[in-house]
Structure 1
């Protein structure tokens, strides 16, 4: 996908949220910069598991993680067990984005990924801009012009590390 005129690629891992994958998932958390925590709106037990998955993310992730709570199967409104309001409230309490999707008919699926990927991009960009390495590069590459940019008749000007003599 393209963000700010740059091509951004995302590597996505689906851990399926199943207990049999639980031992493997902690390895995926290291270095993760985004997560979609998905529950089934027709199965309240999956919604109750969200807190545990959030705790695991917070325990194992190294960095700020862009997270979205996703209620899946919104196409099954007639057998819904978890209300939209419950999902929104949990997301708000945890500081997460929130969206309902349908994997069956693709409702909001791309949008959910796009929102998280854009947030990851913004988080990574902020980290780069705030890093000491970036700040050091800025100070080394800064150009200073004496006399407000007008040529000087003084040939004994100070030379900066970025400029050759």
Structure 2
């Protein structure tokens, strides 16, 4: 798990971490609109450098500070829906939905990798073995049954 904390000084090295990543947690602070506004550039980078099937979870953190909210939960849901992300609001302070966010992401990663493994095995079973020699006895294959004819 790599935590860049959304800091610009890590931007140069983060692209290399996306390449092998199976999942990413894209976290913003619900009490600071600027963190929500910056999400798209991070998401664009993840999609540019990451795997096509990387699981990306959008997380609105600090739900315990709802009285200071600058980003509505509805805005989070709409962004997640538009960008095909998973979404949850969490409170690290109250340990609310934190474990659930990780479990949801890991579960989805497991589903995707299991399906890829299954697809790979099915494709492998359908392929003819390379280098295999198949002998066809044309005489036997075309010979009519004559055992009972007189």
1:99 maps to 88
Query: What secondary structure does 1:15 align onto?
Result: coil
TM-score (norm 1): 0.73
Structure 1 regions of 5+ residues with no counterpart?
A: 1-11, 141-165
Between structure 1 and structure 2, the one with the greater Rg is 2
* Matching of residues 61-100 of structure 1 within 5 Å: 61-100=50-89
- 1:16 is aligned to 2:5: yes
Which residue of structure 2 aligns with residue 129 of structure 1? 118
Of the candidates 28, 33, 54, which is equivalent to residue 43 of structure 2? 54
Classify the secondary structure of the residue corresponding to 1:39: strand
Give per-residue Cα distances to partners, 1:12-60, cap 9 Å, x unaligned: 2212111111111111101111111000000001001111111000000
Structure 2 runs not aligned, ≥5 long? 128-150
Measured against aligned partners, the alpha-carbon deviations of 1:120-157 in whole angstroms (never above 9, x if no partner) come to 001111111112xx2365469xxxxxxxxxxxxxxxxx
What corresponds to 1:34 in structure 2? 23
Aligned-pair distance for 1:62? 2.7
The total of aligned residue pairs comes to 127
Q: Given the two structures, how large is their TM-score scaled by the length of structure 2?
A: 0.80
Hey, which bits of structure 1, 4+ residues long, moved more than 3 A? 136-140
Does structure 2 conserve the Cα–Cα contact (< 8 Å) formed by 1:72 and 1:103?
yes
CA RMSD across the alignment: 1.5
